[in-house]
């Protein structure tokens, strides 16, 4: 029953590269894990193939990229979805910078190479990981592109917030002028905006300019709303973190696996269930695997516990108390004023183009993701969360701390924790949507960035951290893998 209920939403999200789960899986994939504590630069078959492939990116020639990709990776784009996603990502490298300069290539055995390229627009390092098929090494098996994994240059230090704000606006305008960012940015101190700017068009068809009041698709960012709602019910003694799924939902009452899965496992993505309860990837509470399915179940738990629709509960107990008047789920019968239409990359007729994705907004979202909001509303949410309006301070700390005892060393209860020490919040990524909310522990700063383009927020968030929270700036790749030779910030 659950699978059928979420089939349209879940299947659609899982077949596209830009779902936030992809970002999570990249961080923990075997391809990333292969590059361990040092950078080995011994040339191998993978590095040779990577350099040939990147010729087209450096020359900004998407047709050359496709030619090299076809030579190294058999199968048509329509038949090989991973190859198609790789082409789209490589195309984004072309369109998001006037030039990429190779810094270094690290290798692992004969099958794996990771290239690090200085993006001359963002002044950050983009990486391209390539793995050859084994044992033959005669074709590409995987390609992964990551944007702005760390800075390529040491940033200028500024003495006050006014100077930092001016520098951030300059940087954002630079990206926007090149077409590499379209959306809204709000950086606050003590809950009040220091930077509150918007760039580009929210809707190209009607030439609607983006504004701080523009509503954007949140994708997976609103998993944070789901976790807050669950913890409100825990505070009210209506739910227990140790309660089993079998006892929480009638439809799972006869499931042996559901008896082992506890509420805290669902909140921390340590349940082991990815697509189906009866087929866990691991024993609950022993490992981490990002699960949209699990957060869909949490939405059902909220509804079963309260007797209310998920969105109605949020409206009454989160959005109204926080003053979030422009946050809700998409309803086809209720058009949203100043709604941003997303623009996703597509390769068609041997061209790399950006196309509108209004069909995504017919999927109304829910506990998994896909609600809409504004940067102003999300700052209201941060203020309410930090002031104790939504949860007690001890509960907020529980949300925002890792759960290594459950297998989640870089995730709390609905909060991402791997972007650097003291940084917590959530993010979301869909075709034509990129969303980030970050709170910087021990300071008065927070940041919200919403965009209607795919994979554009990482350089912006990196810049914000450099300017407003430099003590917490640790590149996620370097932080997790502890690589030697990580430079810059």
DSSP secondary structure string, 158-175? -SSHHHHHHHHHHHHHHH
CB atoms within 10 A of CB 303: 18
At 24, the pLDDT band (50, 70, 90 cuts) reads very low
Most confident of 26-30, 313-317, 337-341: 313-317
Residue 355 sits at φ, ψ, to 5 deg, of -125, 145
Superfamily of domain 161-224+310-479 in CATH is DD-peptidase/beta-lactamase superfamily (3.40.710.10)
pLDDT of res. 474? 58
Residue 129 has pLDDT above 60, yes or no: yes
Q: Give pLDDT, residue 40.
A: 85
Task: Write down the pLDDT at residue 475.
Answer: 53
Q: Report the pLDDT value the prediction gives residue 394, as an integer from 0 to 100.
A: 97
- CA distance linking residue 259 with residue 242, whole number of Å: 11
DSSP letter, residue 319 = I
Q: Are 308 and 14 in contact (CB under 8 A)?
A: no
Identify the sign of the CA torsion 409, 399, 363, 299: positive
Q: Compare 63 and 237 and report the one with higher pLDDT.
A: 237
- Confidence check: pLDDT of 13 > 90: no
Secondary structure in 3-state letters for 294-316: HHHHHHHHHHHHHCCCHHHHHHH
Mean pLDDT lowest for which of 111-125, 320-334, 428-442?
320-334
Residue 335 neighbours by CB under 8 Å, 6+ apart: none
User: What pLDDT sits at residue 378?
Assistant: 98
Please, which pLDDT band fits residue 337 given cuts at 50, 70 and 90?
Answer: confident
- Asked if pLDDT for residue 21 goes beyond 60, the answer is no
Specify burial of residue 378 (Cβ count, 10 A radius: 0-12, 13-18, 19+): buried
Which residues of 174-239 form beta strands (DSSP E)? Answer: 183-189, 192-199, 201-203, 208-209, 216-217
Euclidean distance between CA atoms 195 and 375, whole angstroms:
11
Model pLDDT, residue 359:
65
For the segment 188-211, the average pLDDT, to the nearest whole number, is 95
Distance CA 450, CA 453 (A): 9
Element (H, E) at 343: strand 343-348
pLDDT 10s digits, 268-293:
999 999 989 999 999 999 999 999 99
Kindly indicate the confidence band of residue 150, based on its pLDDT and cuts at 50, 70 and 90.
confident
Q: 35-151 and 161-224+310-479: same fold? A: no
pLDDT > 50? residue 15: no
Question: Mean pLDDT over all residues of the chain?
Answer: 87
Please check the confidence at residue 332 and state whether its pLDDT lies above 60.
no
> Is the torsion defined by CA of 459, 464, 465, 470 positive or negative?
positive
Nearest to 318 by CA among 233, 249, 214: 233
Q: Please check the confidence at residue 2 and state whether its pLDDT lies above 70.
A: no
Tens-place pLDDT, residues 440-475: 999 999 999 999 999 999 999 999 999 999 887 655
Q: What pLDDT is recorded for position 469?
A: 93
Q: Quick one: CA torsion of 414, 391, 437, 243, rounded to 10 degrees?
A: 10
CA atoms within 13 A on the CB side of 485: 13
pLDDT at 117 over 90: yes
Instruction: Compute, in degrees rounded to 10, the torsion defined by CA atoms 304, 308, 312, 318.
Output: -60
pLDDT at 156 over 90: no
Angle, CA of 108, 110 and 113, to the nearest 5°: 50
CA distances from 62 to 88, 130, 176, 253, 473 (A): 10, 18, 22, 53, 34
The confidence band for 36, taking pLDDT boundaries of 50, 70 and 90, is very low
What lies within 8 Å, CB to CB, of 275 at 6+ separation is: 3, 293
Q: Rounded mean pLDDT of 342-367?
A: 76
For residues 339 and 215, is the Cβ–Cβ distance under 8 A?
yes
Question: What percent of the chain has a predicted confidence (pLDDT) above 90?
Answer: 74
Q: Where are the domains of the chain?
A: 35-151, 161-224+310-479
For 161, how many CA atoms within 13 A lie in the half-sphere containing its CB? 11
| Cα-based torsion angle of the residue sequence 199, 203, 205, 208 in order, rounded to the nearest 10 degrees | -60
Question: How does residue 357 score in pLDDT terms, banded at 50, 70 and 90?
Answer: confident
- Give the integer Cα–Cα distance in Å for 223 and 314: 12
Confidence (pLDDT) at 345? 82
> What's the topology of domain 35-151?
Nuclear Transport Factor 2; Chain: A, (3.10.450)
Q: What is the pLDDT of residue 476?
A: 45
Q: What is the mean pLDDT of residues 13-24?
A: 37
pLDDT in tens, 229-272: 999 999 999 999 999 999 999 999 999 999 999 999 999 999 99
| 386-425: b (≥16 Cβ within 10 Å) or e | beeebbeeebbebbbebbeebbbebbbbbbbbbbbebbbb
Average pLDDT over residues 53-68: 93
Q: Give the helix ranges, DSSP H, for 236-352.
A: 245-248, 256-260, 263-267, 292-306, 310-314, 320-322
In whole angstroms, give the CA distance from residue 464 to residue 456. Answer: 14
pLDDT, tens only, 388-413: 999 999 999 999 999 999 999 999 99
């Amino acid at each position: 029953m659950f699978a059928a209920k979420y089939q349209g939403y879940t299947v659609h999200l899982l077949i596209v590269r830009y779902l936030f789960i992809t970002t999570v899986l990249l961080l923990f994939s075997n391809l990333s894990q292969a590059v361990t504590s040092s950078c080995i630069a011994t040339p191998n078959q993978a590095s040779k193939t990577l350099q040939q492939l990147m010729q087209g990116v450096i020359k900004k020639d998407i047709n050359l990229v496709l030619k090299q990709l076809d030579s190294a990776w058999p199968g048509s784009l329509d038949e090989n979805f991973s190859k198609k996603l790789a082409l789209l990502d490589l195309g984004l490298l072309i369109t998001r910078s006037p030039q990429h300069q190779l810094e270094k290539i690290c290798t692992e055995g004969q099958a794996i190479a990771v290239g690090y390229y200085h993006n001359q627009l963002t002044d950050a390092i983009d990486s391209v990981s390539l793995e050859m098929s084994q044992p033959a090494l005669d074709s590409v098996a995987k390609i992964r592109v990551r944007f702005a994994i760390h800075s390529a240059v040491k940033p200028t230090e500024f003495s006050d917030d006014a100077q930092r704000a001016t520098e951030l606006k300059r940087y954002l305008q630079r990206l926007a002028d090149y077409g590499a960012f379209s959306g809204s940015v709000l950086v606050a101190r003590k809950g009040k905006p220091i930077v509150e700017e918007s760039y580009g068009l929210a809707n190209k068809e009607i030439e609607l300019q983006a504004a701080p009041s523009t509503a954007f698709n949140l994708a997976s960012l609103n998993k944070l709303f789901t976790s807050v709602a669950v913890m409100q019910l825990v505070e009210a003694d209506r739910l227990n973190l140790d309660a089993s799924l079998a006892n929480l939902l009638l439809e799972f009452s006869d499931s042996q696996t559901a008896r082992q899965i506890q509420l805290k496992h669902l909140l921390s993505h340590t349940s082991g269930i990815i697509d189906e309860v009866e087929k866990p990837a691991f024993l609950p509470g022993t490992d981490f695997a990002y699960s949209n399915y699990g957060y869909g179940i949490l939405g059902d738990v909220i509804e079963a516990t309260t007797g209310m629709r998920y969105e109605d509960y949020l409206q009454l107990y989160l959005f109204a108390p926080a003053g979030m008047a422009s946050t809700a789920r998409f309803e086809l019968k209720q058009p949203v004023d100043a709604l941003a239409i997303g623009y996703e990359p597509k390769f068609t007729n041997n061209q790399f183009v950006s196309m509108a994705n209004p069909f995504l907004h017919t999927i109304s979202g829910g506990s998994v993701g896909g609600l809409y909001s504004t940067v102003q509303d999300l700052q209201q949410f941060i203020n309410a969360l930090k002031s104790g309006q939504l949860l007690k301070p001890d509960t907020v700390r529980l949300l925002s701390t890792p759960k290594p005892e459950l297998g989640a060393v870089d995730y709390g209860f609905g909060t991402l924790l791997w972007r650097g020490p003291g940084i917590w919040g959530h993010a979301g990524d869909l075709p034509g949507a990129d969303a980030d909310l970050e709170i910087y522990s021990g300071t008065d700063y927070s940041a919200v960035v919403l965009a209607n383009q795919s994979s554009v927020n990482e350089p912006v968030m990196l810049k914000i951290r450099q300017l407003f929270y430099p003590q917490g700036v640790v590149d996620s790749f370097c932080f997790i893998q502890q690589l030697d030779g990580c430079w810059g910030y």
